Amino acid sequence: MPLIAGVDSSTQSTKIEIRDLASGEVMASSSASHPAVVAPVSEQDPESWWTAFNTAWAAAGSPTVAAISVAGQQHGMVALDEDAVPVHPAKLWNDTESAPDADDLNIRLGGPAAWADAVGSVPVAAFTVTKLAWLQRCRSDAWQRVTRVMLPHDYLTARLTGSITPGAPIGRVTTDRGDASGTGYWSPAAGEYRWDVLELIDAHRDWAAVVPDVLGPRETAGQWMASGNAVVAPGTGDNMAGALGVGLGPGDAVISIGTSGTVYAVSKTPTADPTGAVAGFADATGRFLPLVCTSNAAKVLDAIRHLLGVEHAEFDRLALAAEPGGPVLLPYFDGERTPNRPEATGVLDGIRSDITREQFARAAVDGVTCGLLDGLDALRQLTQLDGRVLLTGGAARSQALQQVMAAMIDAPVVLSEAGQAVATGAAVQAAAVFEQVDHAVIQHRWGLGEGIAVERSASDETLRERYAALRDR
């Protein structure tokens, strides 16, 4: 049977899964690192993504595949000149230099409610629209050379199809509705670009010639001639692919704990939250994906673990050995997206002279958990969640995090068996486009959506109250 490739181009690395189309069995997997970035200035050369992809592809055996899809980190800004050369390094989602531009744009369109009505979300520094405004304001020479603007996954998709080759004229560039919905200038409800939003940045530019064409869920972006004319699927954002990879069902919610943390669910109807807490995205199937994103998740655990000088298993042991009621950590290490505090830093409250390593580790776990549960609460205000809560992402493998989550969530908590949910979801999309079937057909065939139930344990009854008091000071 044919092979299918799913690609996860994240902030930190490119990960690839090669799956058998019939069974979904993983036939090969690989990864390659991206250049390290640290907010507030978080930038990468798009060429480094292409290099990482090729490195990872070679490590996977350079197989001939029937179809391929790229899922990429959301929101980033790739701006190219007429020769397909970046006019500036790509701004990533966690770059916060555009925070003043987010504030300005919010005012100019008429406030948060107007934005939520226009594009389903209230833009913060993460959104592509704010990064374009930053480029126009701060790099005028570069701005004048811009001919195309796209998202990270769009760039890689276009490299696969041959639409982009540095030094050559640019061909057709495409995106999908899921990733487009995170730009801040495409409306999930209307299914179209909001030219009036883009004109806030530059009223004299022909924006229709600058932004990608938005493909439907099973349309084809082109062919990858280097792999036997493989079908190239539209691709999507990492969260949209993650929803496909975990087999997210109606009423379920996902808590994804990677570099950042996300909480999301599938909705049949578009959502709009004027508070800005919940972003009203589209998904990769034709439905919608209300989502809350925090900037600080696994990296907080890693930072504290490194300070303690321990490996993952010992960190979990320390955290689980701590007695309730210890110090509280507000984990806004590199600014925060939800709530929108781009200049914030972390705060450790309640330290006494007898603080222990156990308490320090537990504070990190508790702080990350509370931030994500705030997101779950916000999501419940907009959509019905009466099913499971699925845990995914690298840090979801932490036993300490699992147990604290399960103790504090009034719903079944399940550890997703999708090891690389984003790459798996990209493979699901590639398979669905290749066969021209609904994504659910592939998910069912491959047995996605299963998981391991996390047992509930005693909870710290006052933790969320103490966390909220620290958060709201």
- Among 145, 178, 228, smallest CA distance to 72 is for 178
- Among 23, 53, 252, 64, smallest CA distance to 155 is for 53
Burial readout 91-114 (b: 16 or more C-beta within 10 A, e: otherwise): bbbbbbbbbbbbbebbeebeebee
Cross-strand bridge partners of residue 416: 451
154 HSE (CA, 13 A, CB side): 32
Alpha-carbon distance of 390 to 453, in angstroms, equals: 9
Cross-strand bridge partners of residue 90: 44
Q: What angle do CA 261, 265, 269 make, to 5 degrees?
A: 135
Q: What angle do CA 260, 261, 265 make, to 5 degrees?
A: 135
* 238 classed as catalytic: yes
Peptide bond into 40 cis (omega under 30): yes
- Among 357, 268, 293, smallest CA distance to 127 is for 293
Eight-state DSSP code of residue 335: B
Alpha-carbon distance of 383 to 138, in angstroms, equals: 39
Helix 312-321 vs helix 357-380: crossing angle, to nearest 10 = 90
Q: What angle do CA 24, 449, 445 make, to 5 degrees?
A: 35
CB under 8 Å, gap of 24 or more: what pairs does 438-447 form?
438/285, 439/217, 439/244, 439/284, 439/285, 442/24, 443/244, 443/247, 445/22, 445/23, 445/24, 446/19, 446/23, 446/24, 447/24
Alpha-carbon distance of 30 to 18, in angstroms, equals: 9
Q: What are phi and psi of 206, to 5 degrees?
A: -80, 85
- Among 217, 207, 193, 59, smallest CA distance to 146 is for 207
Cross-strand bridge partners of residue 129: none
Out of 95, 238, 316, 366, the active site residue is: 238
Q: What are phi and psi of 375, to 5 degrees?
A: -65, -40
Catalytic residue positions?
A: 238
